[in-house]
Amino acid sequence: MAWYVAKRLAVSAVVLLGISAVVFFLLHLVSDSPGRVVLGQRASPQAVADFNHEHGFDRPVVVQYLSYLGQLLHGDLGRSYKLNQDVGTLLQQNAGRSAMLSLAGLVLALLIAVPLGILQAVKRNSVVDRVATGLAYVLYATPAFLLGLVLIAVFSQQLDLFPAEASQSHSPWVVFTDPRSMALPVVTIAVTSIAIFSQYQRSSALDQLGQDYIRVARAKGLPERLVLTRHLLRNACLPLITLVGTMIPLLLAGNLIVESLFNYSGLGLLFLNSLQREDYPVLLAYTLIGGVLTVAGNFIADIAVAMADRRIELAS
């Protein structure tokens, strides 16, 4: 296990290095003169040239990337010239709020999707199964922004049960301290995940229900409840662990839409505002976070599956 973890960490480092290079060079192609973006279109060519020289933007792009890579290794993500703040500080101020929003949506999705998927598998081809499957397909095909707008129209404007805007508190725990104002953003994130998780869980449970150990457990006279909870649940959830790992970066993308829709101050809203301001250091850092979450999610999922099922042999 230790050798496997070390090898995966090395591969992850190489992947992240490649991601940083690709994103850096792509942003350089979009704007090869940050001085013009920062100072504005009315700035004189001499002022732009002086700014670029002062910050090293007139050097070859490879040299700029190596310098940026050195900063990353020292924990320096650069500086937002538009906001005049360190990018690391900006991310730290907003990451907790986005993380708790994603966590709440993920937990809610799993609490609903896992039992629903198993119920569909046990009652395969029944009315419950067909209705749940059809609803899952509809929800999966519905864009997050459209789903959020529907929830606002129904539960905020028509029924007046929840506010249309998320809480403006800067605490990352606002999801739990003010659940009423955070209900619609959390549900918006959770619903699309429920559609994916439930169908994945249904397929996995159907595969496990045909295995010999389930037949043996039933032949021994175990109550169906114990067969499902003691034998089926753990094995049927193993593929879902991998799916959850791959969903982590998708939640970051989902936050981008949900935070914008509900005016919730987090990483997603920071990214959109930075995109409008052409604040490239922030955009670069946000993209790197997505890469880190993708690599970390797959890595954690592989380790979790191996620990949950000792029958799985890790590749040497």
Tell me the CA end-to-end span of the chain in Å, nearest whole number.
9
**CA 14, 94, 253: angle at the middle one, nearest 5?**
60
**In this structure, which amino acid lies at residue 104?**
A
pLDDT tens profile 121-179:
888 889 999 999 999 889 888 888 899 999 999 999 999 899 999 988 888 888 888 99
Comparing 132-136, 180-184, 253-257, 284-288, the range with the smallest average pLDDT is 253-257
pLDDT tens profile 20-79:
888 888 877 766 667 777 777 777 888 888 887 877 777 888 888 888 888 888 888 888
pLDDT given at position 10 = 83
Asked if residues 39 and 51 have their Cβ atoms less than 8 Å apart, the reply is yes
Q: What is the pLDDT confidence band of residue 316, given thresholds at 50, 70 and 90? A: very low
Fold of 89-308: MetI-like fold (1.10.3720)
Pull the structure tokens for residue 201: 């869980």
pTM: 0.80
- Closest to 185 (Cα-Cα) out of 251, 90, 271: 251
Asked if residues 72 and 28 have their Cβ atoms less than 8 Å apart, the reply is no
Q: What is the distance between the alpha carbons of residues 164 and 156, in angstroms, rounded to a whole number?
A: 6
pLDDT, mean over the chain? 83
Q: What is the distance between the alpha carbons of residues 191 and 139, in angstroms, rounded to a whole number?
A: 7
DSSP-based helix, strand, coil % in the chain, nearest 5: 80, 0, 20
CA 18 to chain centre: 20
- Closest to 282 (Cα-Cα) out of 40, 37, 18, 70: 37
Q: How many CB atoms lie within 10 A of CB 224?
A: 11
Asked if residues 304 and 241 have their Cβ atoms less than 8 Å apart, the reply is yes
Domain residue spans in the chain? 1-76, 89-308
pLDDT tens profile 60-69:
888 888 888 8
Cβ contacts of residue 32 below 8 Å, gap of 6+? 61
User: DSSP 3-state assignment of 173?
Assistant: coil
Q: 251 pLDDT exceeds 80?
A: no
Q: What is the distance between the alpha carbons of residues 179 and 177, in angstroms, rounded to a whole number?
A: 6
pLDDT tens profile 199-222:
888 988 888 888 888 888 888 888
